[in-house]
Amino acid sequence: MKKSFPIHGVIGILALFLSGFLNYKKIDPIHSWFYCFAWWSYILTVDAFVYSIRGNSLIINRTKEFFLMIPWSVFIWLIFEAANLALQNWYYINLPRSNIERWLGYALAFGTVLPGIFETAELLESLGLFRGSRTKKMGISSAGHSALTLFGVFCLFSSVIIPEFIFPLVWVGFIFLLEPFNYKSGGRSLLKDLERGDRRKIYLLLVAGLVCGLLWEFWNYWSQSKWVYTVPFFEKTKGFEMPLLGFLGFPPFAVQVYVMYNFISLFRFRRLTLFLTAVLMGSFFILIFMAIDRRTVDSYEVRLSDAYWIDPQHRKELPKVGISTLDDLLSKTKDKKEKDELALRLLVPREELIQWVEKTQLVQLIGLGTENLRILEEAGIHSVHQLSVEDPGRLYEKIEQHFPGRSVSTKAKIRIWIREARRIVMVE
């Protein structure tokens, strides 16, 4: 039965368009938090459409379930963040320097995973997708369940132990590991659906995963704080930041988180374990947040005040001539005339101003950041042009010579820096 469109859907639509516009204009705090604004706006919007179509939605009719889903979404995604410490398939750039702001960003961003996928699946179901898609009933024996569990264990352990070659298996391992437990424990189970010949839920999740994957990558691409992939063998051909073959992982990932959430649901409403669960979850959040900070965050957002290559006095003078951000510095020094005029107004040699611009271009190169800029300076790299002519292997060796015994960067990141530098030089 159709219902009127809820007010939170109107808010979601307006917030989505407004945040997109403000992000395009690079206006903070939206610019720094665009990914979170986009996803929560989407979730509100989709929930409202679901309610208007069938008169029942997560936010309106299952409010408690919706809000309980958010911390469990953080928990489930952090399992994959923990795996990424070994896989090293992605890293984060341009994150806030404030621990409080950064950790709040983690929670808000990771909390969208389950609501985003499940709301999308419900919308697809409401629209009648795959209605009546029944097939031959398929039963799996007890021995088959044991084989699935063992295969799940193999997928998860092998992907972490041999990440360079078997990393994709981490995105399906929990399906095989946990689904037999869901079936035997009487919870929601995809194996039960297959036993009845009903594959609709699986199909809906697969499509929802692909839709969400496209949105994850689209909104990430336009965000200031974002992730960059270092997936082996597939770095050259990309859709947004994701290697094209990587999009094949989103559909099974949606199935996997559904299975994981169903498994958690077998235990999470027992009151005796509620306090212990909260303590363990909180401890896990803190532990993995700290690990992300140390191992996965590669750079922090760079403000004008962070531009150490510009002397402090001139950093104070720049806002007086209309340059309040590093983006302003680049946009107002695009040609020779603009450089000459700015150098004259600031009373600095033109050569010094050019060095400012070159360092600024380099520090903003795919979120390279000040810490990595200092590393490149030690290796004799002071501009995007200098970086573009480097060989990744030789540059890595050069960096290792200056920072012996310290893992300052992976070879994959260096390849990404050089490839991006070459792209920019070609455009120029």
Render pLDDT for 47-95 as a digit per residue (tens, 0 to 9).
999 999 999 999 999 999 999 999 999 999 999 999 999 999 999 999 9
Residue 69 — φ and ψ, nearest 5°?
-65, -30
**Rounded Cα–Cα distance for residues 239 and 230 (Å):** 14
What local confidence, expressed as pLDDT, does residue 272 receive?
Answer: 58
**Rounded Cα–Cα distance for residues 196 and 160 (Å):** 35
Confidence of residue 428 (pLDDT cuts 50, 70, 90): low
Q: What is the CA radius of gyration of the chain?
A: 25
What local confidence, expressed as pLDDT, does residue 400 receive?
Answer: 85
Predicted confidence (pLDDT) at residue 270 exceeds the cutoff of 70 = no
Q: Does residue 348 contact residue 355 with C-beta atoms inside 8 Å? A: no
**Rounded Cα–Cα distance for residues 101 and 411 (Å):** 30
Element spanning 93, H or E:
strand 90-93
**Rounded Cα–Cα distance for residues 366 and 92 (Å):** 11
Confidence of residue 218 (pLDDT cuts 50, 70, 90): very high
What local confidence, expressed as pLDDT, does residue 250 receive?
Answer: 96
Residues 6+ apart with CB under 8 A from 238: 229, 244
What local confidence, expressed as pLDDT, does residue 28 receive?
Answer: 87
| Beta strands 226-229; 242-243: pairing state | unpaired
Token pair belonging to 68? 């309980």
Predicted confidence (pLDDT) at residue 242 exceeds the cutoff of 90 = no
Predicted confidence (pLDDT) at residue 208 exceeds the cutoff of 90 = yes
Provide the 10 A C-beta neighbour count for residue 34. 24
In DSSP terms, which residues pair with 118 in a beta bridge? Answer: none
Question: Which of 29-38, 56-65, 73-82, 134-143 shows the lowest per-residue confidence on average (mean pLDDT)?
Answer: 134-143
What are 299-328's pLDDT values in tens digits? 999 999 999 999 999 999 999 999 999 999
Residues 6+ apart with CB under 8 A from 398: 379, 380
Q: Give Cα 193 to chain centroid, integer Å.
A: 31
Token pair belonging to 8? 């939170």
Provide the 10 A C-beta neighbour count for residue 15. 19
Question: Which of 182-191, 240-249, 369-378 shows the lowest per-residue confidence on average (mean pLDDT)?
Answer: 240-249
What are 60-72's pLDDT values in tens digits? 999 999 999 999 9
**Rounded Cα–Cα distance for residues 369 and 149 (Å):** 43
Q: What is the mean pLDDT of residues 367-377?
A: 94
DSSP labels, 207-274:
HHHHHHHHHHHHHHHT-SSEEEE--TT--SSEETTEEGGGGGGHHHHHHHHHHHHHHHHTTTT-GGGH
Is the whole-model pTM more than 0.85?
Answer: yes
What local confidence, expressed as pLDDT, does residue 274 receive?
Answer: 75
CA angle 270, 176, 216 (to 5 degrees): 85
Residues 6+ apart with CB under 8 A from 100: none
**Rounded Cα–Cα distance for residues 222 and 31 (Å):** 9
Q: Does residue 424 contact residue 405 with C-beta atoms inside 8 Å? A: no
**Rounded Cα–Cα distance for residues 88 and 82 (Å):** 10
What local confidence, expressed as pLDDT, does residue 33 receive?
Answer: 93
Predicted confidence (pLDDT) at residue 408 exceeds the cutoff of 90 = no
**Which three-class secondary structure state does DSSP give residue 300?**
strand
What local confidence, expressed as pLDDT, does residue 367 receive?
Answer: 92
Predicted confidence (pLDDT) at residue 403 exceeds the cutoff of 80 = no
Q: What is the mean pLDDT of residues 160-168?
A: 87
What are 346-369's pLDDT values in tens digits? 999 999 999 999 999 999 999 999
Token pair belonging to 146? 């044991």
CA-CA distances (angstroms) from residue 423 to 223, 236, 240? Answer: 20, 12, 15
Residue 398 — φ and ψ, nearest 5°?
-65, -40
Predicted confidence (pLDDT) at residue 419 exceeds the cutoff of 70 = yes
